[in-house]
Chain A
Amino acid sequence: MTRIDTIAATSTAPGPGAVAVLRMSGNAAHAIASGLIESGGLPGAGRSAVRWLRDPARGERLDQAVVTVYAGPRSYTGEDLVELSGHGGPLAPQLLLEACLAGGARLAEPGEFTRRAYLNGKLDLVQAEAVLDLVEGRSPALHRAALNHLDRRLSMRLTDLRARVVGLEALLVQHIDFPDEDEPPVPLERIIDAGAAVVADLEQLLATAPEGELLRDGAVTVLAGPPNSGKSTLFNALLGAERAIVTPVPGTTRDAIEARVAIGGYPFLLVDTAGIRSEADEVERMGIEVAERYLAGADLILLCMDPEDGVHDIALTDLVGSISAPVIPLLTKSDLRQSSGRSLPALAGLDGVLPPIDVSAHTGHGLDELVAALPRLVFSGLVTASADVVLLTRRRHRHGVNTALAEVRAFGQALADGVPAEVASTHLRPAETALEGLLGVIQQDEVLDAVFREFCIGK
């Protein structure tokens, strides 16, 4: 067995807490832990026991902890691993960690336990990414997706898709490599159909990418509109915190303010921006430019307007016309007027502009309606899908699946165009490689295995 240096880190968040868990992994993990135990010795692999831990150098007691022992490869990292669950708080975990480091362990780099788990084949790349997402845990929806990934649901889909691409090659090769066998060639239609089925599945998977990626990044939702229309007030109301400064003076917000928030269980990145108008001083002008950039990259725009404020600035209408994200006009300060807001003839004809909602950040009127609308607008597919739907949550995923899709599609097209199978099959290896790359695992060449499994070969 090769030398693996031993890493240690406190796995729970620092600060007050009842319990803190220290994790230690590597060849010396058992020995170092054992050196800290006052009496009773290290529990056997797969077991836990309560032990007093002391500083071996000074003999001083450090803490009383539950010691859990794992032996590689049957551990999270695949290496020998020990978990010390001691008391939380500012001091106890730190003392334990220092004792482990003094015993020969080294402080783990961020994510190093998971990295080792990947390198030792305990997790594939998709699972390792999921662990990171779980740790960051931004929203219940991302949490759900990450749990699915950790459970290998995406990995299994990808593995299955790769196996089916290999299967396509096997169907072709059966008669190329074994032309004189009992088995007749596989009909071309069967291969084309099998290819089309793979394409359909890849497409379905790919279709989850836009929303899946937003689950990690958060849907960029920009509050825009004329000065003093109540953007910052609404921003604070949606956050439930006073993040942005609110004054009756138009032009208060000069720079953009970002905040992450889960709305209806889905992650959003709310952005408060400077009010947009044509006559503005230089600082305000710059704020407006920033706002325009955000608008261009937005997933959703909340266009705040106070109907009492009269005519809409012409610059605003132009701007809305030039952006692609959906726009919800919000008629703000509804508490100040009797009837519902007026219709908005200037915006009504524009593409992607949704019916306006009356809101008041002061009374909370209309906010429920808005909060309910937001997830449905950005995550419509996810909101209606079942809880265990498998998602692509990273650009890396999308890129790999997209490459595979393009190749398998080109393969089917080539066959349909009368390109001979052995030529069309040039597309299959790159598709396999793309899917393999997603999992981060190179698999044995199984084309022949697939042939032998299915066909009686051998004259």
Chain B
Amino acid sequence: MRSRYDVIVVGAGHAGTEAAAASARLGASTLLLTPDLARTGQMSCNPAIGGVAKGVVAREVDALGGIMGRATDASRIHFRMLNRSRGPAVWGPRAQCDRGLYPRAVRRLLDGTEGLDLFQDLVTELLPADAGLHGVRTRGGIEFEAGAVVVTAGTFLRGRIHVGGAAGVAAGRAGEAPSLELAEALEARGLEVRRFKTGTPPRVDGRTVDFTRVEEQPGDPVNFRFSYYHEEPALEQRPCWITWTGAELNQVVHRNLERSALYGGEISGRGPRYCPSIEDKIVRFPEARRHQVFLEPEGLETSELYVNGLSTSLPHEVQLEFLRTVPGLEEVRMTKAGYAIEYDFFPPHQLRHTLEVRGLRGLFFAGQINGTTGYEEAAGQGLVAGANAALRVQDRDPWVLGRDQAYIGVMIDDLVTKGVDEPYRLFTSRAEFRLLLRQDNADRRLGVMARDLGLLTSEQAGALDRRLGRVRRVTRWFQETALRPEDVRATLAEADSSAVTTSTRAGELLKRPGVSARALAEAGGAPFLGSEDSGLEDVLAAVEVELKYEGYVRREAERAEVLKEQAAFELAEDLPYADFKSLSFEAREKLGRIRPGSLAQAGRIPGVSPADLQNLVMEVRRLAAAGV
């Protein structure tokens, strides 16, 4: 007798842990399988969460009741709000975490999730689906069955690590075995497989760094939390350091270029352009005299430092040689060598927006195996896949996030619509509604939806209510409170803005360039200023964008409405695109391959023109009329 669950999640990385937690929160009995429970939620690369766009995703995951935000708050040892010099619309919270504490927090939150079982074993086989039930078999020969399976195997599928020009070693991460049988089992199901690569830089012993020769980069003193609903105790904070590479490093790299796995031709998979190795940077931008290097702490109880900016697949002795050309690192000892890893992924046009594999009902994919990179991207997908797996088993409607609702929605739509030709990472430029998708308002965008779906605990739902009430109150204060000229004289003068002669509403003054919401609230003695917590920061940021740039925000919202109308025009999955002769050949071919779910999605497929869309509407109507 095999043990039976509603949902099985394979892999306990950032996708798998969110998938398992979301599924269990929806009330599905859930099993999380992973070869090494001690590495649950492990950070394979830099122990940092967030950044521009990625930080928004971490908060979206939190707004949806996920664990990433809380785990980050609980393990954060350095924090900066990126783009703080710009408007709050593009602020990107980024935290450096303690590599050991982050997974511990993840594990604590998983253990506190009702209906979730963890089991340590490697999945080696996917058993043929039988009467709607999927089965998996582990290396230990144990079988489990479930109505839905979420696969989140990360970089482990036929993973191969390269250091130097040698042929490479089979591995899922440094020191961990790859997942070979599962890769084969999935390929045997008829799925298209391709290879990508990524890399990681060396780590060094902080006790051997000359800190007098590097520049300290302190964290922001702000009162910020990723989580909207919970307050984790704060840890002691650590600085990062900045140093620069110079001509000498270029020479070392050039001299050894053919010994790089990348340039020696050992690696064929494509890597991300935004995360190039130092070899890449030097070859592609030969005129750049220096490159920035960040030294980032790996934890509170270790002196190990992550050398951000020097990702490489050169042999370890070359790594040490070039490290020692960098100011501050002249005497450095390397603790871990950098490496490149190649792995299988499944081109994501094979998925639906729920991350269910097309044609394989009940099988879901999330994370790196969909061609993405990054913890946040993995977590966002995991949450969507896990929730939809549970909904599938419960026979409930699927749940899909729109491009106007969340960066997670942008990402998944990009993945299934456009596919990937390099590891996919989120950027603000991928979103057409940048002003709507902000880090301060993910709870307002997604909270109610999450609550109604069942993703929030009652405690979280209560916190959500309080937050929504607060935004309303503060917004109303700005809209209704008239400030006296003498009260705002200093504030306006500081912003180089002309003085007012009559009492003027705060919201009106906020529209002026350089005048901040906080300054006006202080000038007007706003009652909500008393409690200085992270929630207040969010609210002030929201008011600042939404009132100051009201016209722009409204315009984006209007464009989002147009998109929604197109999204409401559904396209059946079995449309005979090949017969739609009023469409261009390219459009017929692409539509037939991607099989978009809506007109809006069809319109985002490169090669499908506005004229094709119009004709598509006609063809679909004609078909419907003929069917009657």
Indicate if the CB atoms of A452 and B273 lie closer than 8 Å: yes
Contacts of B610 in A (CB 8 A): 436-437, 440, 442
Query: What is the bound-complex CA distance between A442 and B90, given in angstroms?
Result: 27
Contacts of B290 in A (CB 8 A): 182
| B583, CB-defined interface residue at 8 Å | yes
Binds B, one of A231-239, A304-312, A383-391, A416-424: A416-424
| A363, CB-defined interface residue at 8 Å | no
Indicate if the CB atoms of A78 and B513 lie closer than 8 Å: no
| Minimum C-beta distance from B85 to chain A (A) | 9
| A181, CB-defined interface residue at 8 Å | yes
| A448, CB-defined interface residue at 8 Å | yes
Query: What is the bound-complex CA distance between A417 and B311, given in angstroms?
Result: 41
Indicate if the CB atoms of B294 and A180 lie closer than 8 Å: yes
Of chain B, the residue at the smallest CB distance from A170 is B429
Contacts of B360 in A (CB 8 A): none
Indicate if the CB atoms of A459 and B429 lie closer than 8 Å: no
Query: What is the bound-complex CA distance between A430 and B559, given in angstroms?
Result: 10
Indicate if the CB atoms of A448 and B578 lie closer than 8 Å: no
Interface residues in B270-298 (C-beta closer than 8 Å to A): 273-276, 280-281, 284-285, 288, 290-294
Count chain A CB atoms within 10 A of each CB in B92, B429, B555, B579 and give the residue with the most: B429
Indicate if the CB atoms of B429 and A419 lie closer than 8 Å: no
| Minimum C-beta distance from B579 to chain A (A) | 7
Indicate if the CB atoms of B53 and A177 lie closer than 8 Å: yes
Indicate if the CB atoms of A180 and B82 lie closer than 8 Å: yes
Q: Which of A120, A176, A448 contacts B585 (CB 8 A)?
A: A120
Indicate if the CB atoms of A422 and B90 lie closer than 8 Å: yes
| Minimum C-beta distance from A207 to chain B (A) | 26
Indicate if the CB atoms of B276 and A418 lie closer than 8 Å: no
Contacts of B603 in A (CB 8 A): 442
Binds A, one of B231-239, B364-372, B430-438: B430-438
Indicate if the CB atoms of A2 and B87 lie closer than 8 Å: no
Indicate if the CB atoms of A182 and B435 lie closer than 8 Å: no
Contacts of A417 in B (CB 8 A): 513
Indicate if the CB atoms of B609 and A442 lie closer than 8 Å: yes
Contacts of B428 in A (CB 8 A): 173, 176-177, 422
Q: Which of A5, A119, A181 contacts B292 (CB 8 A)?
A: A181
| A47, CB-defined interface residue at 8 Å | no
Indicate if the CB atoms of A182 and B429 lie closer than 8 Å: no
Indicate if the CB atoms of B274 and A458 lie closer than 8 Å: yes
Indicate if the CB atoms of B432 and A459 lie closer than 8 Å: no
Query: What is the bound-complex CA distance between A452 and B273, given in angstroms?
Result: 7
Contacts of A178 in B (CB 8 A): 52, 274
| A4, CB-defined interface residue at 8 Å | yes
Indicate if the CB atoms of A456 and B288 lie closer than 8 Å: yes
- Ranked nearest first, the 9 interchain pairs of A and B with the lowest CB-CB distance are A418-B513, A420-B87, A2-B578, A459-B309, A119-B584, A456-B285, A458-B276, A444-B606, A177-B427
Chain B positions within 8 Å of A, measured between CB atoms, are: 52-53, 82-83, 86-87, 89-90, 92, 273-276, 280-281, 284-285, 288, 290-294, 308-309, 311, 418, 427-430, 432, 434-435, 513-514, 545, 549, 552, 555-556, 559, 578-579, 581-586, 588-589, 603, 605-611
Would you mind naming 24 contact pairs between A and B with Cβ atoms under 8 Å apart?
A4-B581, A177-B53, A177-B428, A178-B52, A178-B274, A179-B83, A179-B92, A418-B513, A419-B552, A422-B90, A423-B89, A423-B545, A423-B549, A426-B552, A426-B556, A436-B610, A440-B611, A441-B609, A442-B607, A445-B606, A456-B285, A457-B274, A458-B276, A458-B311
